[in-house]
Each structure stands twice: as C-alpha cells, then as structure tokens.
Structure 1
Amino acid sequence: MDVIKKKHWWQSDQLKWSVIGLLGLLVGYLVVLMYVQGEYLFAIMTLILSSAGLYIFANRKTYAWRYVYPGLAGMGLFVLFPLVCTIAIAFTNYSSTNQLTFERAQQVLMDRSYQAGKTYNFGLYPTGDEWQLALTDGEMGKHYLSDAFSFGGEQKLQLKETDALPGGERANLRIITQNRLALNQITAVLPDESKVIMSSLRQFSGTRPLYTLADDGLLTNNQSGVKYRQITIAVIISRSTPTEAGVMKNSVLVIPLLSARKTLRASLPTKGSRSLFSLSSSGPWSFRSSLWC
C-alpha cells in the first residue's frame, strides 16, 4: 500500500513558481535598468547568471548541477567577467580624465597650459649655499642671469642680461630633478618684463592658460580661439562648424561615460532628448548634438 506524503504549504508548486516569477521580474527590471544606464556588460552578466541559476534550482532534472553552479558562477563573475571588461575597455577612451564629474573635468581643463613666446635653455649655478638661474636665448645668443636665491615657495626672479655665464660647475640633471617642484614655483622676469616658467627639465618658456572660463560658462581655447559651452548633459563640446555636406558637427572635449557603436536610444522621456545621443560619422566615439542654436 503506497503511502501518500502530505505536502506542506511551502512545498506547493504554486508558491514555487510564484517566487520564481517574482525573482524573474526583479532580475528583468535590474537588467533593463543597467542597460539604460549604459552598463551593458553588467546587464549581460546579470542576465546569464540569474537565468542559469533560476533554471538549475527550479528544475529537478538539473539537481546535480546545483553543486557545480556556484563554482562556475564564481569563476565567471570574478575571473571571466573582469577579463571581458578589460578587453572591452581597451577599445574605448575610458581613462581617469574621462570618468570625472563635470566640475572636476572643467578644473582639469582650466589647469592646462600651452607654450607661448620664446623658449630658453636654463642652467643652475651654485654660489655658496644658494643658486643662480641662467637663461640662454638660442636664437639671439643672449644670456640672462638672476641674483642668488634659495629654493622654497613661490618667488619671482628678476633676470639681467649678461655677457657670459657664471664660471662655476653647472647643476646636473639629478639636482634639477630633485628640486623640480621648487623650480616649478619660480617665475623668471626678463629685462623686457616678459615672464617665463619652467616647461621642461632643460627649458624655461612663456606659458599661458589654455582655456579661459567666462561668466556665462563659455570656455575659450586661447591657443586656437575655439569656444566651447556646456549642454544639459554636462558635456563640454565645441561650437559647430558647417562641413562640406552641410551637416553641423561638434567635436567632443569631454567624452561621456556612455559608449555605443550606433545611436544610443535608451529609455529617455521624449523623442527629442534621444537625439542628443546621435553618433557622428567622424568616429565611433565622437558625438553630435541637435540642440545647437
């Protein structure tokens, strides 16, 4: 005589499939959310691991796989997935300067400078416990020499034209490297009142800030004259210039974190906002905007 075992309420198939269905909906929501945010690799990984886990633990025929699945999932999550991410990122422009907040990205641009004016070879000559800075104009053959000074803090050195360089032994590259931070804080003032600062381990040159920020947020490249402004997605882009085909294109100065090979059509609220993320034909990582006025 067969004995019929009574099932408890928590062993019912209805409860089992209800829980599996809720977990499936939750996983689907998380996958869509990650995809909308541009994290497609995380979305794919979550979908694969969750689908495999739900199938294995919900199906009695795959009972033996329940002992193997945790190890395979761990290997995929902590070994294969980081490897795939590394390879994928290698083909993008992800870097420390492209993963910044808008304020920090703007500060990075404001800290940039470019060489303007002449370049002078420099040398350091010891005078007791102090030093003298000598600049040489290679084009004119002129020499400029400062008074004796000591390293430490920001300081301006007034240079005077001289016929010859000091007779002492010139400081070698090791000494210059050791005092590089102090040399970077020195501003040399030439007889014509032009100012130069250290631009390399062997040269002083006139430098200017590469970008100037206006009160209205307009960013101007002082070297090329190109002007940039921010848009609502906090990306600094260049003012459009018409191309031969008559298409208005923009060069991106700070690349957004989202990347795609085709037009990014995430779940944005309006059709017009989707047109913000239309990839330009000039390259896979150049964006163009339809909101220029």
Structure 2
Amino acid sequence: MSDNMRVDEATGTDFVGHEWDGIEELDTPLPRWWLWTFYLTIIWGIVYVVLYPAWPMVSGATEGILGWSSRGQLQAELQAEEKRRAPIMASLSAIPIEALPANNELMQRAISGGAAAFKVHCVQCHGSGGAGSKGYPNLNDDDWLWGGNIADINYTLTHGIRNPDHEATRFSQMPAFGEILSGADIDAVTSHVLSLSGKSRGNAQGAEIFSQNCAVCHGPAGKGDRKQGAPNLTDGIWLFGGTESDIQMTIANSRQGVMPRWNDKLDPVTIKMLAAYVWSRGGGEQMPVLATRSPLTKESAEGDVAAQ
C-alpha cells in the first residue's frame, strides 16, 4: 500500500501523504452542514448577481433584473421626505418674514430647519454655537452692524456683505487712515476711541481728529450708524479685537470683511429658516413698531434708537 493510501487506525481516515517534521495530515471530510452552507452561498451569490447591480462596467454597472440601486432608494426617500415637508415649506414661503415670529408653530419649524442649515453652511465661520471669533460676528449677542430684527438678518443672509458682483449687497467703506493720518494722529484717535467705552482717558487731539474724520459715519458720540454698517464704538464689543494694537491696526489699514450672499446658493425658504434660527439665538431684536403695528417694547425701542 502506498503512503497516500494509508489509513489512520484510530479514526479510519486516509492520510493525504504529506509529512512535516514527522507530522502527517489526515484527509478528514468536511461536515455535511458546512458543505451545504457553502453550496447555498454560491447559489445566493448567483441569484444576487442576477437580481441586483453587481459587475462594474466602464461607465456604470450591471443593473440587475429588479432595477434596484442604493441611489434610487435614497432618491425615493428624499422625494418622500420632500413631499411630507411640502405643506410646511409652502407655509414658510407664503408668510412674510416680519410675521414669522408671531406664528409660534411655523417659527419653531423654521428654527429647526435653520439649525440644520446653519450646521452645513455657517459653522465654518461663526462656530457651532454661533459665538463667532475674531473677524466673525458673535450671533448670540445683541450687537448688530446692519440691524438685528428678523427682516434685517434675512436681508443680510440673502445679499451678503461686500459682494461686488451683487448690487443689493450690504457695503460699507472705511478708509485706511494710515494713508491719511500720521502715526501720532492714529495713536491719539485710538486713545479717544477706547475712551468711548471707558477703556482710556482719551485726549483732546484724538477727539478733534475723530470729529473731523470719523464722526460722519460713527456719529459724534461714536454710537454708530446701521444704515452705513458703521459699528457702535461705545459698547466695548469689537469684531476685530478691542486691544489698543487691534484698534490701531483697524484705523490704519481698515477692515474689509466679507460674508457671501446666499441667494445664489440657497432657496428663499432655507434663507428664511436660517434668519429665524439666527434671530432666535438670543440677540434678535423686535421689528420696528411701524412695520408690525405691535405694542412698543423696551427691546424694539432700544433697537430703534440704536438704528438711528
């Protein structure tokens, strides 16, 4: 009997004829249940290839006789969700932005939708909580360059800040006074600007320079002008930093911050939802009394005064 025909006496199983350092291998048959499972997986694989997309081609893949695809399933789910949301979106589209806060149900839906849109489009600059950073406004406070009621916010989102390709964009221009004033003059007016928020004693020279060069936009008292996007210099809130060196840099070189306009990227309802979310962050102001015919509130009165 040859080596490969030898039988193991203990098990009655044939040897396969291989030996490694005195260790031999038995030709033990696979369990029946394992073999049937293996055959079933082969059959399942063939059926799957026939029914579903499977083989990659040059510009696509085999479609399968069922015509199913994960992209098609996703598209169907998106269409179903869009159909479900259609009545809400239609209501949000129809309601004037000024009237949205008075409709509690729609407002809450708008805030939820705006929160989702904010995470996609706005957190890169304003942060996940809307607190902003140097050069990017904090959306949680009540300091607004162009107005903080929901209509003003909606306009800013729609048309952006300093978008030269868009006529309706918000635009303000502060000269680079480093080309106009001497270093000593900039130091003097910096001291005066800091004194407006109680951070410096100020000086007569700086006050005079401010009156001649800055008051036309910021106002004689430095309260700012929202129609021009000129910031209030008395509140101690600084977009580009409030240290002496920061303010010197701003006066000398100006700042030309840009915010994209979203009307070429998002639909009007999504922008309206974003405005509702930003307005709800805590710093949103009431609409002016004449626009809403609502009772005068302390917040709206303060907003009117700040806007003047």
- TM-score normalised by the shorter chain: which range applies? under 0.3
TM-score, normalised to structure 1, is: 0.22
Write 1 or 2 for the structure with the bigger share of helix: 2
Write 1 or 2 for the structure with the bigger share of strand: 1
Structure possessing the higher relative contact order (Cα contacts under 8 Å, 6 or more residues apart): 2
